């Protein structure tokens, strides 16, 4: 295994990736460059660096990527209103291409000839990581330990850790009740107690939201400002992308917003059950669609809705750096040129309720839709010819059925 000289590892500092780090050192006899990305997962990342230093790593990267994550990945996706299978806000899916992109950049910077991730051979993440690796560096060597090593159980991992003097916290010795992935957009929980889709998830599974039952009995009003399809302010205060999503997360959590219990179709072919919490994203999605409702032309809006499932599927499958996603993004971004203004929302016990929207670029005309005198803005007699022309083919079909006695 000496053909690998240096590998950049996507490293969380947790038990599994610490075991992977040591396994790379012993199995490949290579130098390991750990890379830890702060995407807003809410964990202290200092210990990850210290643990990597204790394991003999010389080059260690711990980076705050929260602003880049929201600005360059989350916001472009939200311009498309992307929902996988109609409901999933793609919180895990959208994080992987950023981590993988940065791994490739670090590999170039450090002269590494391989990259490594800790995704299992059953999940979607292995695909997302590796499609990004190859899209950005076609000749890179990819190491996927869960597809290579002989360890098959938690006991095997603990035994390996103890053999190589990797500290194993007491709470990591037993089987975890479920697995968690988190970033600034969402948290996801899967496995173990959640594998039976009939069983209601225990309340202790939820980490980022109050239950709607526990949320305050008084609604909260919030105004979100938009420019070119991106949220830029809350209640008139301009915020950076990461600051804005953080604030929306706080509001969503306190009001029981953003829970999703989903059985989804994985790219690798199986169905899986996941519990997702996306408090700020749920608010943002509702606000963005409300802003589009008065600023997007009907044809553009309906075309966007036609394209959205394809866009969401590309993100879910891991094709962020594909030409088709970039083509769709160009179309989406063109549609957002005049998506600007303010949306007012009411947050109440798990609900996000639109109560107002205004924009200098609005296409909404009170003079056209009023039930009162429109002062000649719309001649209702014009509708007769419009309807007859649209009914022509239907009348022709009906005449044929009548002629044939059908």
pLDDT reported for residue 7: 98
Among residues 160, 114, 192, 189, which one has the least CA distance to residue 16? 160
Residues 6 or more apart whose CB falls under 8 angstroms from that of 39 comprise 65, 66, 69, 95, 98, 99, 183, 184
Which residue has better confidence, 326 or 168?
A: 326
Q: Check pLDDT > 70 for residue 51.
A: yes
pLDDT reported for residue 372: 80
Q: Is 217 a catalytic residue?
A: no
Mean pLDDT confidence for 162-185: 82
Q: d(Cα 344, Cα 225) in Å, to the nearest integer?
A: 9
How many residues are given for the chain? Answer: 406
Q: Is 108 a catalytic residue?
A: no
Q: Check pLDDT > 90 for residue 2.
A: no
Choice among 71, 179, 359, 362 that is catalytic: 179
Among residues 48, 62, 52, 54, which one has the least CA distance to residue 21? 52
Q: Is 125 a catalytic residue?
A: yes
Q: Is 179 a catalytic residue?
A: yes
pLDDT reported for residue 170: 63
Class for the domain spanning 180-296+338-358: alpha beta
H helical segments located in 137-240:
154-163
Q: Check pLDDT > 60 for residue 75.
A: yes
The conformation of residue 29, written as its DSSP 8-state character, comes to: -
- Span of 246-260, 327-341, 373-387 with lowest mean pLDDT: 373-387
Among residues 23, 75, 21, which one has the least CA distance to residue 52? 21
Choice among 66, 79, 96, 357 that is catalytic: 96
CA dihedral 237, 238, 240, 246 (to 10 degrees): 20
Strand-pair category, 271-277 with 187-190:
antiparallel
- Residue extents of the structural domains in the chain: 6-65+92-175, 180-296+338-358, 366-403
pLDDT reported for residue 216: 97
Q: d(Cα 279, Cα 245) in Å, to the nearest integer?
A: 9
Specify whether domain 6-65+92-175 bears CATH 3.40.50.620.
Answer: yes
Mean pLDDT confidence for 114-130: 95
Choice among 12, 38, 79, 125 that is catalytic: 125
Among residues 100, 93, 124, 69, which one has the least CA distance to residue 311? 93
**What mean pLDDT value characterizes the chain?**
95
Mean pLDDT confidence for 159-181: 81
Q: Check pLDDT > 80 for residue 286.
A: yes
Q: Cα 134 to chain center, whole Å?
A: 21
**334-353 confidence digits (pLDDT tens):** 999 999 999 999 999 999 99
């Amino acid at each position: 295994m000496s053909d690998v000289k240096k590998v950049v590892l996507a490293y969380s500092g947790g038990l599994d990736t610490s075991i992977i780090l040591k396994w790379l050192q012993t199995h490949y006899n290579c130098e390991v460059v750990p890379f830890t990305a702060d995407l807003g997962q809410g964990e202290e990342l200092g210990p990850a660096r210290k643990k990597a230093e204790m394991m003999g790593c010389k080059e260690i990267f711990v980076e705050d990527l929260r602003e880049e994550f929201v600005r360059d990945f989350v916001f472009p996706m939200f311009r498309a209103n992307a929902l996988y299978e109609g409901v999933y806000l793609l919180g895990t899916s959208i994080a992987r291409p950023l981590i993988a992109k940065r791994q490739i950049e670090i590999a170039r910077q450090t002269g590494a000839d391989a990259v490594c991730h800790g995704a299992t051979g059953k999940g979607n993440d292995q695909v997302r990581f590796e499609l990004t690796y190859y899209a950005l560096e076609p000749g890179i060597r990819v190491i996927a330990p869960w597809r290579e090593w002989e360890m098959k159980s938690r006991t095997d991992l603990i035994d390996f850790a103890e053999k190589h003097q990797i500290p194993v916290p007491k709470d990591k010795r037993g089987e975890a009740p479920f697995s968690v992935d988190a970033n600034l957009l969402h948290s996801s929980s899967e496995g173990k107690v959640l594998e039976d889709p009939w069983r209601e998830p225990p309340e202790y599974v939820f980490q980022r939201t109050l239950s709607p039952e526990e949320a305050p009995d008084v609604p909260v009003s919030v105004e979100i400002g938009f420019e070119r399809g991106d949220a830029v302010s809350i209640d008139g205060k301009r915020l950076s992308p990461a600051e804005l999503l953080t604030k929306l997360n706080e509001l969503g959590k306190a009001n029981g917003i953003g829970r999703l219990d989903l059985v989804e179709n994985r790219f690798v072919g199986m169905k899986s059950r996941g519990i997702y919490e996306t408090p700020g994203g749920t608010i943002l999605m509702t606000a963005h669609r409300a802003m589009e409702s008065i600023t997007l032309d009907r044809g553009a809006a309906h075309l966007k809705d036609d394209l959205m499932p394809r866009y969401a599927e590309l993100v879910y499958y891991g094709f962020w750096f594909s030409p088709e996603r970039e083509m769709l993004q160009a179309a989406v971004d063109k549609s957002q040129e005049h998506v600007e203004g303010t949306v007012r929302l009411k947050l109440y016990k798990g609900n996000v309720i639109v109560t107002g929207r205004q924009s200098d670029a609005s296409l909404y005309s009170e003079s056209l839709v009023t039930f009162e005198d429109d002062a000649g803005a719309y001649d209702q007699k014009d509708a007769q010819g419009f309807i007859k022309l649209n009914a022509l083919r239907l009348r022709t079909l009906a005449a044929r059925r009548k002629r044939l006695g059908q």
